[in-house]
Amino acid sequence: MTSGNGADDTPVRLSYTMSIIKFVNGLLDPCQQSTYAMSLHRLAESIDLPSFFVELRHIGTHERLPSLEMLRWSAKKALEWLEVNYWTEVKKSSGKFRAEYGIETDDDSVHVIRRIRCDLDIVREVRLEDPNKIYSHSDTSNSGRKYWYAMDRLTSFVSYDADLLANVMIFQPDGMIVRSKAPNDQKMRSIIYLYRPVLQSLGPEFCMVLFRKLIQFVSSTVFLEASKSANFDLVLAKNDTRFLLPRCKGEVKQAQKWLEYIATKGNILFGSVGFVNETTVPLITQSIGLHNNEHSIALLKFFLQLNEEYLRQIQMTEKVSKVLQTMEKFSLPDTVGLPTKIPKKKLGKDTAVESSVPAHMKRKFDESSTVCLFETYDNWKPVPFGRLNTNK
């Protein structure tokens, strides 16, 4: 296109420009957490992103397309910035985690999930010995050493893959959510009390990941039935969200109790700062607002009512109320009427997973089928706008 043959380079410049815009937006949007919007230049400065990227984003959005030479140079600089500021840190944390968990290849995901479950079981067993005891890091007792050996491994995993850890904690048999009928309020309080030190150790950022996962969980209109021989670890390893579903209304109620606990200002999860603070209130409101259904509306009402005094102090009451009003005005109807008693059906295939809803809503899972986030195609090569190359 640059050899002087008269070809139009506009498609390439558009692709480069869109990549730069997405690069800048993807980095800076999560940093926009203050009550009032900050300039992109200030946000860029906070993460050591050169200001010319912000200028290039502005030019590409509001003015003429930059030249191809400028875009190529900027794309190269963007990759260099990511290598230094992102991939280097990922490799460090990944190396530390792999050493602790004994991972040698990327095919050990199922093994990792089982190790996570093992660590969670150790923490739970030690906590059950004496639920009122708080173990310090310097505790040299047998129980203290076991507790912190497992807890430190789980904490190191947060920086490696917080999404996977949250999924395992939610879907672990008899973990945060008991795989049975809904426990009564007293037992639910006991489960929350049991896991509270775990959440405190994993930190507020992980709790935000967990919070969003639980919102997706309670917003599901599909229930799941899995045979005992189904390989659910494979579902978790591949993050197959089609099957990360509640199995009964009891599980939904438990998840709602967890959401209410996490979203309460006075839950003493993280000391005086708490999970609910000036920074997280907009994130919590946004996360709840993404799922416009009866569960989300009820949760936001609960959040607004229980944290009313604090929201007034930080002048967020009006903003949260507006989100709630919008949700109520445009709430989605319940299109899938789930029966009071969910029918159970044994499956013939050992590795099959099937949803326990009417036939038109059934979902199936077979271990032999390929379920990937990104599938490879031998006959595809990168071209502008990702067109599929059909020439074999």
Helix (H) or strand (E) holding 365: strand 364-365
Q: What is the pLDDT of residue 20?
A: 92
What mean pLDDT do residues 164-174 have? 87
What mean pLDDT do residues 216-240 have? 77
Helix (H, G, I), strand (E, B) or coil at 281: helix
The 10 Å Cβ neighbour count of residue 49 is 21
Q: How many residues does the structure list for the chain?
A: 392
Hunting for tokens 């390893």 — which residue is that? 237
Enumerate the domain spans of the chain. 10-89, 102-257+347-392, 263-330
Q: What is the pLDDT of residue 84?
A: 82
Two tokens, residue 162: 């917080």
The 10 Å Cβ neighbour count of residue 390 is 7
Higher pLDDT, 168 or 295: 168
pTM of this structure: 0.60
> What's the pLDDT tens digit per position in 81-94?
888 888 777 666 55
Is residue 365's pLDDT more than 70?
no
Q: Where does the pLDDT of residue 97 fall: very low under 50, low under 70, confident under 90, or very high at 90 and above?
A: low
Q: Is 155 exposed, middle or buried (0-12, 13-18, 19+ CB in 10 A)?
A: middle
Q: Where does the pLDDT of residue 362 fall: very low under 50, low under 70, confident under 90, or very high at 90 and above?
A: very low
**Is residue 383 left, alpha or beta, with left meaning phi > 0 and alpha meaning psi from -120 to 50?**
beta
Q: Where does the pLDDT of residue 14 fall: very low under 50, low under 70, confident under 90, or very high at 90 and above?
A: very high
The overall average pLDDT reported for the chain is 76
Q: Which of 165, 167, 164, 162 is nearest to 177 (CA)?
A: 167
